[in-house]
Amino acid sequence: MLANILVAVVAVIHLYILVLEMFLWDTKTGRKAFNLSANFARETRVLAANQGLYNGFLAAGLLWGLWLGASGVQVLFFFLLCVLVAGIFGAVTASRKILYVQALPALLALIALLAR
């Protein structure tokens, strides 16, 4: 139960990131979320949309694993591991904030999943 809730939270986070990166990147909301200048946001909009799509795939994989129920544990494990690695990479290369927003929730969900 706890694992499913944490996985759902991670999926929702990634759906939110999808919306921010694909649709709100060059708006006031998107620029504030990622601390971007208007010019930089405008110039990198297509790259951000691509990143957002990948975040959507992560969310879709997590939701698919939840939908599969007990037989989806391996799917959940794989996608949570992907999120964790992406979060660590993002924290090292882009912003330490990603460690807390992306990697930590994935790690907690992984621990809960393995403790079932």
pTM tops 0.85, yes or no: yes
Q: Domain coordinates of the chain in residue numbers?
A: 2-114
pLDDT per residue as tens digits for the range 14-47: 999 999 999 999 999 999 999 999 999 999 999 9
Instruction: Give residue 70's pLDDT.
Output: 94
For the cut 90, the answer to whether the pLDDT of residue 116 exceeds it is no
| Exposure of 15 in the CB half-sphere (CA atoms within 13 A) | 11
80 — pLDDT class (breaks 50, 70, 90): very high
SS3 (DSSP) at 35: coil
Q: Quickly tell me which residue has 């708006």 as its tokens.
A: 27
37: left (phi over 0), alpha (psi -120 to 50) or beta: beta
Measuring CA to CA, how many Å separate 109 from each of 13, 32, 33, 102? 13, 28, 24, 11
